[in-house]
Amino acid sequence: MTPEATDPANSAIESLVEQCLDALHEFGPEGLEKTLEGLGRAEATVRRRIAVLEERGLLVTGHAGPPLLPDHFGRYRVLREIGRGGMGVVFQAELPGLGRRVAIKALLVSQLLMPKARVRFQREIESIARLQHSGIIPIHDFGEESGVPYFVMDYVSGPNLSEIVGEIATWDSSERRGPRLARYLGLAGESNDLTWPQVAADFVGQAAEAVAHAHERGVLHRDIKPSNLMVSDQGRIVVVDFGLAAATESPTLTRTGALLGSLPYMTPEHLRGAASTTDVTTDVYALGVTLRELLTLSSPFADPDPEIVRLRILAADAPSPRRIDPTIPRALESVCLAAMDLNPARRHPSARAFARDIRAARDDRPLSIRPPGPMARALRWSRRHPARITALGMTCLLAFGLPVTVAVVQSRNAADLSKALDETRRWAADSAQQRAAATRAYVRASATIDEVLSRLAFDEKLQGDVAWSQLGNWMLDEAAKAHESLGQGRPDDQNLEVNYLEAGTRLARFAIGLSRIDLARATLERTLDEAQTAAERLGADDRLVTIQLTCLSSLDELFGVLHDTENRLRVGRRRLALCETLMAPESRMRALVDAQEALGRALLQSGHKSESVDFLERALAPRRRLAEASGSPRDQRAAFDLALVLRAAQDPSPVLDLDAATLEEGLRIHDALWQQHPEDPRWTSELARYLRAAGARLAKEGRGDEGLALSRRGLKLEEGLVAAFPRNQRIGESCALAWVGLALQLREREAWGEESEAWLAAAAQFARLQSLDPADLDDRFMTAMTRHSAATALARLGELDQAAVLRARCAGALASILEAGPDGPPQTQDIQQLNADGLVAIIDAIYDEPDRLLRIARRLEAEAGQPGTPDFEATALAAQSSRFLAIAVDAGASPVER
């Protein structure tokens, strides 16, 4: 091998040239230019190499004329070109006399000037020769023709998965299942129940098995993508193009800034330059992207600009598969998202494990990947039961605020942090001068961690966004690793000790917000132990006691949401004992009240009501004194909420019924908080809830005008929040429920017209929420239920045309919920029967009016064809149109009218 071929710097330049050639082939001249501009200091060198190729006429794009290659290779005569990439070209050829068709892969002429390219081509031959699997085409022959290396394989006539995806994406959704799909794939004998997600999973599962075979024999593919997965004549998947393959143990996998593979399928860690080596998770990630592309029939990071593609990969900026197509099974989506996790450690550990999970998803068996954590399940439960959460909110505060979402952290943070940590370790010595230098470096590193964490901001506009959540998890992992490094190298200084421990409490809070329960608990318990040890070593320091109390408070909240009452009681009693060690009287009093209240809540959750009442009563009096002394609305709110919790502990009824006076007091307190912080959505939301509850209570007590005024004011605040945070599910549901409450008040006043408008507004809100997550059966049910109520109100007004449309849509939604299985709300069948009775009542009311029946039939048919109408609603609208048409005929509609 020549020295040039083994020189790391030259190897990196060759890899960058290949990357540019791939960009030219995939994105054209503009893509080439953007790739060159992103090479930094290597740009000038790579431009010179590209210019040499251009001068010699060796730059061939996908739209150029025939390549400069022989018309035969050894005994084989070339028939036509099949495909090409930045490195090689594949031909269909035949062996004269025998008529045997084969595929020949040859190195592009432009690559002949690069010694490393020949080495890679030889490595591809050697890699494939090591493999014996039905999903990998064997090599039959190899050699050189006119200086161009080549090898010969079986010819596969079938399409690749990229071509199949392009074809099926043009079909209507109804055609992507059953007979047509089976015929297109040559599976005519298969069941009519065949669906595209099943086929996609089977195809990628076969590919994963072949890739696993390669991994187990020490070969990484490194360029998995749909166009490299072909369908054989027998309908089986064949993995092709091992041009970037390398041995799993090969030291040549270490890169110096070069990127290998096809951009849309590259891992985030390689684009960041954070991965010095490639392992099996590189192929697992590409298999996950491929599975997602097949399931959704679209590339997750597609964009004509390569730089945008790169940024989208780094941010995991792709909607979850079920947001694009709700018919995709949840288990397959979970497999796909796990394989594409930003953190390689959370992906499937092998292609074999990925293939097993695909089979488990298909067979409805448990997956090996981690299911949603307990915090995520708790938050999901709160969304599924908004009425219960509203009731609980009036009696006791939930432990957590909104989930944490994040903003992108600038790349300089990582560089600053790395530099500061290196300096900290370098100067960690005994002399005073070195300790001072270490202290300065430590402070810079700690400040950088704080900057990273500060960017993990509470931003409701991004709530529920999978991409931001994934990026947030990666940033959290980086901050956790940095914090751990600081713990190992920090100078012996009491102030820095406190700084380090306080950063641990902040890190844990962000971990809780991202539902990283294990990380949060481990960080809190470690910080708690270290703070206790530091306090024993350094002596009395309220700051160290406060850090311990903060850790215990967060653990109390954590165990409360997890319903781990044993641990919650343990930390509650420890927290109460610790408060006595605080030196500052006011701090001790506040901490003691907080601890007593927390322990009372924990005892109430564990069923120890009498002991709970004792601690809550002990806390209430000083809590009220603190509120009176400070005059702060926050302290007043804390005292008010504690009083509600105490009443709940003393009241045997499951839901506390608050009187008007109590609600008005809560309204006054929350109004004051909102006046102080009108831009804070938390207090706006709280005030709106109290306005709604107080309005309903006044209406119940016969003060209807006052009640309506309060409800309308609350609704105005809710709609303002929806406008500011349109993707926030909790805010959207709260606004929809506010419309429901207003509709019920209007019904009591027999204001049928305004009632129907309120029901329609509530239905519109729930329908909007349903569009954000089409697979959510709860939002679908609430949309149907509010439409049913609106139809009832409209029928009272005689507006039967609109009532019939609403009931038809309602029928379709309810039927789809029942078809989905037992996960839907239990009231579905009851509402379905009431809705069906309502349709019958409409028909009975106008049975003798054929013209009107015919008009409704036409309107139902028109609504079924409206763009954006869900399939289940369109089906029901069409069915009811046929029903009304048949009844119109029976009632005497003329042929012309029909």
What residue type is assigned to position 778 of the chain?
Answer: D
- Please indicate, yes or no, if residue 249 is contained in any of the structural domains: yes
Flag whether pLDDT at 674 surpasses 50: yes
* One domain, residues 190 and 267: yes
What contacts 40, CB < 8 A, 6 or more positions away? none
Among the ranges given (420-434, 610-624, 702-716), the one the predictor scored with the smallest mean pLDDT: 420-434
pLDDT category, 382, cuts 50, 70, 90?
very low
Rounded Cα gap, residues 423 and 440, in angstroms: 9
pLDDT category, 31, cuts 50, 70, 90?
confident
* Parallel, antiparallel or unpaired: strands 72-73 and 237-239: unpaired
Overall average pLDDT of the 181-210 stretch: 85
Overall average pLDDT of the 723-742 stretch: 86
pLDDT category, 828, cuts 50, 70, 90?
confident
Q: Answer yes or no: are the C-beta atoms of 606 and 362 closer than 8 Å.
A: no
For the beta carbon of residue 862, count every other beta carbon within 10 angstroms.
Answer: 12
Q: What is the pLDDT of residue 396?
A: 27
The DSSP annotation for 177-214 comes to BHHHHHHHTT-TTS-TT-BHHHHHHHHHHHHHHHHHHH
Q: What is the pLDDT of residue 583?
A: 61
What residue type is assigned to position 426 of the chain?
Answer: R
Q: Answer yes or no: are the C-beta atoms of 865 and 805 closer than 8 Å.
A: no
Position of tokens 């300790």? 435
**Domain boundary residue among 444, 475, 492?**
492
Q: What is the pLDDT of residue 552?
A: 94
Cα 389 to its chain centre, rounded Å, is 24
- Please indicate, yes or no, if residue 130 is contained in any of the structural domains: yes
- Please indicate, yes or no, if residue 40 is contained in any of the structural domains: yes
Overall average pLDDT of the 61-80 stretch: 68
Q: What is the pLDDT of residue 459?
A: 43
* One domain, residues 211 and 358: yes
Between 659 and 815, the higher pLDDT residue: 815
The DSSP annotation for 279-338 comes to -HHHHHHHHHHHHHHHHHTS-TT--SSHHHHHHHHHTT----HHHH-TTS-HHHHHHHHH
Between 138 and 254, the higher pLDDT residue: 138
pLDDT category, 634, cuts 50, 70, 90?
confident
Which of these, 677, 676, 673, 715, lies nearest to 694 by C-alpha position? 715
* 136 φ, ψ (degrees, to nearest 5): -135, 125
* One domain, residues 358 and 235: yes
Q: Is 511 helix (H, G, I), strand (E, B) or coil?
A: helix
What contacts 534, CB < 8 A, 6 or more positions away? 494, 497, 501, 544
Q: Answer yes or no: are the C-beta atoms of 427 and 438 closer than 8 Å.
A: yes
What contacts 191, CB < 8 A, 6 or more positions away? none
Among the ranges given (493-502, 537-546, 694-703), the one the predictor scored with the smallest mean pLDDT: 493-502
- Please indicate, yes or no, if residue 590 is contained in any of the structural domains: no
Q: Is 94 helix (H, G, I), strand (E, B) or coil?
A: strand
* One domain, residues 141 and 167: no
| pLDDT tens-digit series, residues 262-272 | 788 988 888 87
Which of these, 805, 896, 893, lies nearest to 851 by C-alpha position? 893
Q: What is the pLDDT of residue 713?
A: 93
Rounded Cα gap, residues 704 and 165, in angstroms: 60
Which of these, 258, 271, 261, 259, lies nearest to 312 by C-alpha position? 271
Rounded Cα gap, residues 707 and 693, in angstroms: 9
Q: What is the pLDDT of residue 257?
A: 37
The DSSP annotation for 22-54 comes to HHHHHHHHHHHHHHHHTTGGGHHHHHHHHHHHH
| pLDDT tens-digit series, residues 238-256 | 998 875 555 444 433 333 3
- Please indicate, yes or no, if residue 394 is contained in any of the structural domains: no
Please give the radius of gyration of the chain, using alpha carbons only, rounded to the nearest integer.
33
Q: What is the pLDDT of residue 419?
A: 42
How crowded is the C-beta side of 867, counted as CA atoms within 13 Å?
A: 0
Q: Answer yes or no: are the C-beta atoms of 726 and 680 closer than 8 Å.
A: no
Which helix (H) or strand (E) segment holds residue 231: the answer is strand 229-231
Q: Answer yes or no: are the C-beta atoms of 719 and 703 closer than 8 Å.
A: no
Rounded Cα gap, residues 554 and 526, in angstroms: 13
Q: Which residues are registered as beta bridge partners of 145?
A: 148
For the beta carbon of residue 75, count every other beta carbon within 10 angstroms.
Answer: 14
* One domain, residues 353 and 426: no
Rounded Cα gap, residues 510 and 526, in angstroms: 16
Flag whether pLDDT at 278 surpasses 90: no
* One domain, residues 129 and 184: no
Mean of the per-residue pLDDT values of the chain = 77
Among the ranges given (118-122, 505-509, 530-534), the one the predictor scored with the smallest mean pLDDT: 118-122
Q: Domain range spanning residue 41?
A: 1-155
What contacts 863, CB < 8 A, 6 or more positions away? 805, 808, 809, 869, 877
* 73 φ, ψ (degrees, to nearest 5): -130, 105
- Please indicate, yes or no, if residue 215 is contained in any of the structural domains: yes
Between 197 and 127, the higher pLDDT residue: 197
What total of structural domains would you count in the chain? 4
Q: What is the pLDDT of residue 25?
A: 65
* One domain, residues 144 and 177: no
Rounded Cα gap, residues 749 and 695, in angstroms: 14
* One domain, residues 190 and 147: no
Choose from 87-91, 569-573, 585-589 the range with maximum mean pLDDT.
Answer: 569-573
**Domain boundary residue among 422, 457, 492?**
492
**717-720 long-range CB contacts below 8 Å, 24 or more apart?**
717/684, 717/685, 717/687, 717/688, 717/691, 718/685, 718/688, 720/684
Q: Answer yes or no: are the C-beta atoms of 717 and 693 closer than 8 Å.
A: no
What contacts 323, CB < 8 A, 6 or more positions away? 772, 773, 774
Overall average pLDDT of the 139-148 stretch: 83
Flag whether pLDDT at 464 surpasses 70: no
- Please indicate, yes or no, if residue 91 is contained in any of the structural domains: yes
Q: Answer yes or no: are the C-beta atoms of 210 and 228 closer than 8 Å.
A: no
pLDDT category, 415, cuts 50, 70, 90?
very low
Position of tokens 């506040």? 590
Position of tokens 């709970």? 612
CATH number at residue 331: 1.10.510.10
Q: What is the pLDDT of residue 248?
A: 46
Flag whether pLDDT at 695 surpasses 90: no
CATH number at residue 151: 3.30.200.20
The pair of three-digit structure tokens given for residue 398, joined into one six-digit string: 């939930």
- Please indicate, yes or no, if residue 27 is contained in any of the structural domains: yes
* One domain, residues 171 and 23: no
For the beta carbon of residue 13, count every other beta carbon within 10 angstroms.
Answer: 22
Flag whether pLDDT at 862 surpasses 60: yes
Overall average pLDDT of the 725-750 stretch: 87
Choose from 408-412, 518-522, 769-773 the range with maximum mean pLDDT.
Answer: 518-522
Q: What is the pLDDT of residue 512?
A: 82
Which of these, 305, 273, 262, 259, lies nearest to 17 by C-alpha position? 259
Among the ranges given (130-134, 491-495, 509-513, 748-752), the one the predictor scored with the smallest mean pLDDT: 491-495
Q: Which residues are registered as beta bridge partners of 152?
A: 104, 141
Q: Answer yes or no: are the C-beta atoms of 259 and 38 closer than 8 Å.
A: no
* One domain, residues 169 and 151: no
* One domain, residues 78 and 23: yes
**Domain boundary residue among 492, 514, 540?**
492
Overall average pLDDT of the 143-163 stretch: 86
Position of tokens 């299942």? 177
Among the ranges given (27-31, 451-455, 628-632, 877-881), the one the predictor scored with the smallest mean pLDDT: 451-455
Rounded Cα gap, residues 779 and 451, in angstroms: 38
pLDDT category, 458, cuts 50, 70, 90?
very low
* One domain, residues 346 and 454: no
Q: What angle do CA 725, 729, 734 make, to 5 degrees?
A: 90
Q: Answer yes or no: are the C-beta atoms of 549 and 590 closer than 8 Å.
A: no
* Parallel, antiparallel or unpaired: strands 219-220 and 76-84: unpaired
Rounded Cα gap, residues 364 and 344, in angstroms: 26
Rounded Cα gap, residues 534 and 541, in angstroms: 10
pLDDT category, 65, cuts 50, 70, 90?
very low
Among the ranges given (117-126, 336-345, 352-361, 434-443), the one the predictor scored with the smallest mean pLDDT: 434-443
What is the dihedral sign for C-alpha 149, 153, 159, 161? negative
Q: What is the pLDDT of residue 694?
A: 85
Q: Which residues are registered as beta bridge partners of 100?
A: 95
Q: Which residues are registered as beta bridge partners of 218?
A: none
Among the ranges given (37-46, 385-394, 602-611), the one the predictor scored with the smallest mean pLDDT: 385-394
The pTM of the full predicted model, rounded to 2 decimals, is 0.47
Burial 356-378 (b: 16+ CB within 10 A, else e): bbbebbbeeeebebeeeeebeeb
| pLDDT tens-digit series, residues 707-717 | 899 999 999 99
What is the dihedral sign for C-alpha 595, 597, 600, 605? negative
Among the ranges given (177-191, 384-398, 454-468, 837-851), the one the predictor scored with the smallest mean pLDDT: 384-398
The pair of three-digit structure tokens given for residue 397, joined into one six-digit string: 């505060």
Among the ranges given (1-5, 238-242, 777-781, 872-876), the one the predictor scored with the smallest mean pLDDT: 1-5
Which of these, 69, 50, 64, lies nearest to 114 by C-alpha position? 50
Rounded Cα gap, residues 898 and 894, in angstroms: 6
Overall average pLDDT of the 484-498 stretch: 66
Q: Answer yes or no: are the C-beta atoms of 290 and 351 closer than 8 Å.
A: no
* Parallel, antiparallel or unpaired: strands 76-84 and 72-73: antiparallel
Which of these, 649, 643, 646, lies nearest to 666 by C-alpha position? 643
What is the dihedral sign for C-alpha 757, 758, 761, 763? negative
Overall average pLDDT of the 474-501 stretch: 69
Rounded Cα gap, residues 810 and 795, in angstroms: 15
* Parallel, antiparallel or unpaired: strands 100-107 and 148-154: antiparallel
Q: How far is CA 49 from CA 11, 18, 23, 274, 304, in A?
A: 13, 11, 15, 27, 25
The pair of three-digit structure tokens given for residue 690, joined into one six-digit string: 């109290």
Q: What is the pLDDT of residue 24?
A: 74
Between 411 and 483, the higher pLDDT residue: 483
Q: What is the pLDDT of residue 431?
A: 39
Among the ranges given (108-122, 279-293, 439-453, 732-746), the one the predictor scored with the smallest mean pLDDT: 439-453
Local structure of residue 160 (DSSP, 8 states)? B
* 112 φ, ψ (degrees, to nearest 5): -65, -20
